[in-house]
Structure 1
Amino acid sequence: MVKAASLPQEKKLSTNKSARAISLETLIKVLQNGSYSNISLNNSLKHSDLSIADQNLATRIVYGTIQYRLFLEYQLTGLLKTKITEKYLKPLLLMSLYQIIFLDKVPNRAVLDEANKLAKQFGKHHSSGYRVVNGILRAFIRRGVILPDEKDTIKYLSIKESVPEWLVKYLIDNWGMQKAQSVLSSINDPAKNSVRISSLADRNKVFDQLKKEGYQPEWSNLSLNDAVLSHGGISESDLFEQGKLIIQDEAASLVVEAFDFDQNQTEHVLDACSAPGGKTVQIAENIHGDVTALDIHEKKLRLVKENARRMHVLDKVTTKACDARKAHEIFKAGEFTKILVDAPCSGLGLLRRKPEIRYTKSLQDLRNLQKIQLTILDSISKLLKAEGELVYSTCSISMEENEEVVKRFLRIHPGFELKPFSLSKLESKTGMLKIMPDQDGNDGFFIAKFRLRG
């Protein structure tokens, strides 16, 4: 289980919002209203006067509580004597349990004291919520952590690792018990802080500067231009502002590496699902030619342009608001020498980085997404020039969104074939590569490379 570093006393604000008050506000929005955790938390922190240490505490509580939600809810078994009616109570109980169990350097009495204050602050007039919270938390401390019987393997792993039962069974069915346990254990580890150094910058000079600024960088085991940092905050650095690097996971950086770009010819590349633009920028850095970046939402394309401008490749990037499923209605057949489809997917490879995904996706979602992915591939396949390359990728590990999509696409489009590819530190002899989440703490990712026969 994750252990916390020593945590400072919270700074009270003029608005009377402490780190834990912001945590509770965010968790109410996420758990009760279905808001996105990253957007809700970032908005709250942006408008607060919390110190960096207290921002880190709030972030830890919010993401930790969401990540371990099933496990924490199970700890309430036998302790809830009455129905919870006030919407703040359950999020408060869960975040308090998270602190008691996982933040072992925070004394239990401090957690109880803060929980009582928040119950009085968030409760209705004459609410007895603080007594409910106090009683349940004290009862838990006396009893301790509980888990289901290990003989019921699916339920046991589901609660222990806080993953829905369908996903536990899915992992076991597809990869076996040992691999499933390894993946489930890994997704509760902290996500890496990784960056990709621009191909237009001197990688060694940037790496040395990261050292000087205290980020303690280490070169990636996956990608040549990626570095893993000891902590976050890089978006505030001069290196980021100057476009020397971009925040990108190591596995995500491999996708563009799968292309064989030819500097001796003018490339016309299509990035069919481009936002927020990390891969668009990476393509532009490595070609003589241009990139057309599509996204269904115009406002997301603004972020693509912002990233391209910051990374000094805006002159190579054109954006267009377009549903990739209808791209063949807009562009000419054979217009592009290379095409990237970083397809919309379930995100099952990002469970460590986006913990709420595990609670919002289902097996049926994988099947529904497969239909969308195949429709996109069918549309853009018409736009590829003969002998051109098509790279398909997802940030999912599911068979339905990856291997099955490849199989079905090839069956419908016999003019295409899988093409083996070499990356800076890896290779695929089959034309397909899957990175699992337990592989050196990376995001889960899938890459397939096709060639259109001439």
Structure 2
Amino acid sequence: MTDKSARFIALETLIHIFNDGSYSNISLNNSLRNSNLSETDRNFATRLVYGTVQYKIYLEFQLHNLIKTKLKEDYLKPLLLMSAYQLFFMDKVPNRAVLNEANILAKQFGKRNSTGYKIVNGILRSLIRRGPVLPEKEQQINYLSVKESVPEWLVKYLVDHWGIERTESILASINEPAKNTVRLSRLANPNEVISGLNELGFSPQPSQLTSEELVLDHGGVSSTNLFKSGKLTIQDEAASLAVSAFDFTGNEKVLDACSAPGGKTVQIAENLDSGIVTALDIHANKLRLVKQNAERMNVAERVITKEMDAREADSKFSQNSFDKILVDAPCSGLGLLRRKPEIRYNKSLADLTKLQQIQLAILDHVSQLLKQNGELVYSTCTIASEEDEDVVEIFLKEHPEFELRSFTTGNMDAPNGLIKLLPDSYGSDGFFIAKFIARG
């Protein structure tokens, strides 16, 4: 068979995502790994996949009145969505090219004697003639749901918590491209790293949130020696603030209760001299990622990994075992919608309270391992109050031996012991951080 085109790879990936429930990043990486695409074509395929997933609700709305028959073959709907994305969001791609390529793909993916290409051709031609449509603006929730391609329950949730104007700002921001951000290793010379990035054409700019992060003008840094030698790592600006909330002396015993893939574990280890960070995760394969990260970032001797559910930690470790504990809790990920667009489609309101119970259980068990006057930082990559402020309130009520403590992290102050970053504030991930002290 001839080499697969960028559109072929994208469609193949979208079929896995939409029909099999595969994660977009894993499915796309697998497809690209087995392809012979040029860098330009890889970028094109990547944009097709993420863009189609990101705007799925919007694209379905464009198509729903034009589909007059049941789409029996599994490639048809993904192909129509991908083609509609090109028509409405990729101005440099001519409509005739979209039609021609869609016909080719329909013949490649269709069953023997399939007439799918006729269905695709007819629907797309009708779509081009009609152009884009939206619900009436008076249907506020439905209008924003379609326009920004976010489920109605989530639009309503945002409106209930932040009002319509802030919701419009948040939703617009999550559909903007994610920034390319890197965190400089504390073990590297920052001036040398910045100079190296400039020489490689990444044009690094300082982060608004923290001096440890840089914003690059394009991706691809993971293929450089700066990355491979551990001078820097790819990490969102907001995510790096959780570890910076600790006040390190360098000789602490630290527990990272939910460590994979290891970005924060490594960051903790960089702050230690004679100290050790113990990294837990329930999955052995994910702990391998933690070890690989620690080795690449040159801190492996300061990291111990243990396969363990954090909710069992108090039965495996002695009380008062740790000076500092990080609980970067499993959460709904609603702060990551810009980077992981499919999250918006596979979460529900009920998930927020289910996850809250897991988060509280982890805090309950690991908090018993903290020394008096020790620091406990709780963080999530969600903006849901059920998983953030409500968790803090319930935990403090059930554990009066803890109290919130003010902190400074990066360029931000948290006088009340809490920070919440919404996605539209700085163009970062949405993130929440709380810092507790175990009273002496």
Give 1:440 shift.
2.1
Which whole-Å CA distance do the structure 2 matches of 1:417 and 1:362 have between them? Answer: 31
* 3-state SS of 1:185 partner: helix
Which consecutive segments of 4 or more residues in structure 1 shift more than 4 A?
A: none
Aligned to 2:292: 306
The amino acid across from 2:255 in the alignment is L
Match of 1:357 among 343, 353, 376: 343
- Partner Cα distance (2:149, 2:323) in 1: 45
**How many residue pairs were aligned?**
439
Which residue of the other structure, out of 321, 329, 346, is the alignment partner of 2:307? 321
Identity among equivalent positions (%) equals: 64
Alignment of 1:256-267 (within 5 A): 256-263=243-250, 266-267=251-252
Which residue of structure 1 aligns with residue 116 of structure 2?
A: 129
Q: Check if 1:218 corresponds to 2:197.
A: no
Q: Which residue of 2 aligns with 1:272?
A: 257
**Residues 307-350 of structure 1, C-alpha deviations (whole Å, 9 max, x = no match):** 11111111110000000011101000010000000000000000
- Give the drift of 1:279: 0.4
Residue matched to 1:335:
321
What secondary structure sits across from 1:353 in the alignment? coil
Which residue in the other structure is 1:187 paired with? 174
- Residue in structure 1 matched with residue 282 of structure 2 by the alignment: 296
Cα-Cα RMSD: 0.7
Tell me which residue corresponds to 1:4.
none
Q: Residue deviations 1:371-417, cap 9 Å, x none?
A: 00000000000000000000000000000000000000000000000
CA contact (8 A) 2:279 2:306 kept: yes
Whichever residue aligns with residue 218 of structure 2, its letter is H
The residue correspondences of 1:109-128 to structure 2 (distance < 5 A) are 109-128=96-115
Correspondences of 1:102-181 after superposition (within 5 Å): 102-181=89-168
Distance 2:345 2:95 in 1: 28
Residue equivalent to 1:57: 44
CA separation in 2, counterparts of 1:169 and 1:102?
Answer: 26
Query: What is the match of residue 347 of structure 1?
Result: 333
Q: State the SS of the aligned residue for 2:423.
A: coil
Q: CA deviation at 1:156?
A: 0.2
Which amino acid is the alignment partner of residue 106 of structure 2? A
Cα deviation for residue 77 of structure 1 reads 2.8
Contact 2:106-2:116 at 8 Å conserved across structures = yes
2:77 alignment partner in structure 1: 90
Contact 2:239 2:431 in 1 (8 A): yes
Instruction: Measure how far apart 1:370 and its partner are.
Output: 0.1
For residues 275 and 296 of structure 1, the distance between their equivalents in structure 2, rounded to whole angstroms, comes to 9
TM-score after normalising by structure 2: 0.99
Q: Which amino acid aligns with 1:282?
A: Q
Structure 1 residue ranges without an equivalent (≥5): 1-13
Matched residue SS, 1:276: coil
Pairing 1:227-242 to 2, within 5 Å after superposition: 227-242=214-229
- Counterpart of 1:441 in structure 2 is 427
Mapped to 2, the partners of 1:219 and 1:302 lie a distance apart of 32
Counterpart for residue 283 of structure 1: 268
What CA distance in whole angstroms lies between the structure 1 residues aligned with 2:264 and 2:67? 48
- Distance (whole Å) between structure 2 residues aligned to residue 76 and residue 397 of structure 1: 32
Letter in 1 for 2:46: T
Q: Give 2:180's aligned amino acid.
A: N
Counterpart of 1:335 in structure 2: which amino acid? S
Q: How far did 1:424 drift? A: 2.7
- Alpha-carbon distance between aligned partners in 2 of 1:60 and 1:424, rounded to the nearest angstrom: 32
- Structure 2, gaps ≥5 residues long: none
* Cα displacement (A) at 1:127: 0.7
CA contact (8 A) 2:3 2:36 kept: no
CA distance in 2, matches of 1:441, 1:355: 15
Q: TM-score, normalised by structure 1?
A: 0.96
CA, structure 1 residues 15+328, in 2 after alignment: closer, same or farther (shift >3 Å)?
farther
Find the residue that maps to 1:382 and give its secondary structure: helix
Answer yes or no: is 1:23 the counterpart of 2:10. yes
Amino acid at match of 1:62: V
Q: Deviation at 1:107? A: 0.3
Instruction: Give the Å deviation of 1:287.
Output: 1.7
Q: Residue 223 of structure 1 aligns to a residue in which SS?
A: coil
Specify which of 374, 384, 387 is matched with residue 398 of structure 1.
384
Deviation of 1:423 after TM superposition, in Å, equals: 1.6
**Distance of 1:413 and 1:50 partners within structure 2:** 55
Letter of the 2:349 counterpart: L
In structure 1, what is the Cα distance between the partners aligned to 2:317 and 2:191?
40
Residue in 1 aligned with 2:364? 378
Letter in 2 for 1:267: E
1:426: which partner in 2?
412
Cα deviation, 1:205-230, whole Å, max 9, x if unaligned, reads 10111011001111111011100111
Q: Please, which moves more after superposition, 304-313 or 14-23?
A: 14-23
